Amino acid sequence: MTTKHYTCPACHEENRYKTFVTDRVELERAQGEAIRVTCKHCHESRTIHPNDVFAKPSLLPPVIVAIVVAIPLIILFRLGWIVFSVALIGAPFAVWAAQQQAATRFNGYRIRERQ
C-alpha cells in the first residue's frame, strides 16, 4: 500500500492522491487520461495526466508489523527460541522492502501520451 501523490500545476505543492491501484495503467483505466483533482493548498481545480501521479513508500505497514511482531518476539526470546525470535526481527524489514519495490514499480512505468 504505497501512497500516491501529485504536484499541483498551479502552486507546485505536493498533494496526496487517494487510490489503491498498483500501476499507472490501472490508474488510467479507472480514472481516464485526464484526472480531475483539486489542490488542498490553493483549492484550484485542474486536470493531470496519470504520469503526473507518483508513488512513495508508506511507513504505516512496517510500523504495524513491528508492533504486531514485538510481543511474540519477546515471548519466544524468553522461552529460549532465539532462532525464531531472530527470524521475526526481519518481518518489518521485509515489509519495508516490499513497499520500496512497489513504489519503484509504480514510478518505473510511464504511459505514452496520445497526441
Tens digit of each residue's pLDDT (9 = 90 or more) over 13-63: 999 999 889 888 999 999 988 999 999 999 989 999 999 999 999 889 999
Integer Cα distance of 58 and 39 in angstroms: 21
pLDDT the model gives residue 78? 82
Q: Which residue in 54, 57, 59, 60 sits closest to 15, CA to CA?
A: 54
Crossing angle of the two packed helices 60-79 and 82-108, in degrees rounded to 10: 170
pLDDT the model gives residue 57? 93
> pTM of the predicted model, to two decimals?
0.78
**Count, residues in the chain:** 115
Strand-pair category, 3-7 with 14-17: antiparallel
